[in-house]
Structure 1
Amino acid sequence: MILINLLPHREAARKRRRELFFITLGISGLIGGLIAGGIFLWYAAQISTQQNRNQVLATEIKRLEGQIKDIATLQEEIAALRARQQAVEDLQSDRNLPVHLLNDLVRLLPDGVYIQSLRQEGQTVTLQGSAQSNERVSELLRNLGTGSQWLTKPDLVEIVAGTVALSPREQRRVSNFTLRVRLLRSSEALKAASAASAAGSATPVAAAPAASGEKRNP
């Protein structure tokens, strides 16, 4: 017996393929949605975790900024206390400076030079006086520049010719001068003395090899 299929089998197969395509498309969409949802939830969790970390960091930064401000305040207070301590130490160590000044002036003043006034402003001492000649003033400048541990950097402000009356009938020409010299503090004088002694001790050490070499090669 011959069986003949008169049903529209092509349309039925096409319908099955269409249904299978839509089912596959729905399943793919569902899987894609699940994957996208999972990725979204993962990123959301990562963002939330990072935000929590940022919040913790911001809190720690604020705490550290407060500590830095406290440290800066403490450093300012320490600097102020050190400045006060240094001022007290300077006052205690500098109380003998007038004695050193007068002793050195008496010792370094050449013959024929007379001091008429002395004024101190800070560490600068201004001297006004008369000398028998300009050479006497030059000698005074040299003495002040090299002969004192407490006086340094003498500077001649002015020198003018003048006369002084020795008697009603006798007058003598003199040189009236004004000069400034810097009075070192005790700490500065100690540093200068240490530097000078170090330089003096370094010179023989450098010359020792040459001296020993001369002895070895008669």
Structure 2
Amino acid sequence: MILINLLPHREEKRRLRKQAFFAGLGLSAAAGLAMVVLWYGVQMQMISSQQARNGVLKDAIAKLDVEIRDVATLKGEIEALKARQRAVENLQSDRNAPVHLLNELVAQTPEGIYLTSVRHSGQNVLVTGLAQSNERVSEFLRNTNGPSPWFERPELVEIKASGRPGARDAGNAQRLFEFSMRLSLKRPQESLPEVEQGKPAAKRAAKG
């Protein structure tokens, strides 16, 4: 017996293929959406973790800023204390400066030099006097420039023939010269190390 299928089988196959296509398309869309949601969740988790780390860093930076301000304040206080200490030391040394000034002038003034005035202002000293010759003034300059532990940077301001009568030798009046020179007075902390450095050498020479 022969069976003949009179149903529209081609249309039925076409419909089944469309259903399968749309089903696959829906599954693909669902899988893509799931992947997007999963990736979004991972990104949000990473952002949250980074924000937490940023918060920790901000707190640490804030603490460091406070510590830096404290350190800067301490440095300022230390510098202020050092400045006060230097001021006290300078006052202490300046109190004895006139004594050292006069002693050093006595030690460094050569024969033939007669000092008439000494003006002391801070670390500057202005000396005026009379000299028997220009060579005596030059010697005075060399003494205060070289071995002097208390004087430095001597500068001759003026020298001229004096109208004052000088000493008489065989009935002739000796000619005198008026001069003025400027000196810088060293502070004890600047001059004492040189003196202290010379003491061991002198002791070793004495022992030898």
Flag whether TM exceeds 0.5 (same fold).
yes
- Counterpart of 1:192? 194
1: CA distance between counterparts of 2:114 and 2:175? 14
1:108-145 alpha-carbon deviations (Å, 9 max, x no partner): 11222122221222212111222122111101001111
Equivalent residue number for residue 178 of structure 1 = 180
Structure 1 residues 194 and 15 mapped into 2: Cα distance closer, same or farther (>3 Å)? farther
Gaps of 5+ in 2: 203-208
Q: CA deviation at 1:65?
A: 0.8
SS of the aligned residue for 2:81 comes to: helix
Aligned 1:65-214 pairs, distance under 5 A: 65-165=65-165, 173-193=175-195
Give the distance between the partners of 2:105 and 2:87, measured in 1 at CA.
26
Query: 2:52 aligns to what?
Result: 52
2:131 touches 2:178 (CA, 8 Å); kept in 1? Answer: yes
Residues 113, 137 of structure 1: 8 Å contact kept: yes
- Does the 8 Å contact 1:164/1:172 carry over to 2? no
Structure 1: gaps spanning 5 or more residues? 202-218
Instruction: Tell me, yes or no, if the aligned pair for 1:163 and 1:172 is still in contact at 8 Å.
Output: no
Q: TM-score, normalised by structure 1?
A: 0.80
Q: Higher mean Cα deviation, 145-154 or 31-40?
A: 145-154
Aligned to 1:215: none
Hey, what's the Cα distance between the residues in 1 that align with 2:17 and 2:161? 130
Shift of 1:194: 5.3
Q: Match of 1:4?
A: 4
TM-score (norm 2): 0.84
When the two chains are superposed, the root-mean-square deviation of aligned CA atoms in Å is 2.4
Match of 2:34 in 1: 34
Distance (Å, rounded) in 2 between the aligned partners of 1:174 and 1:8? 150
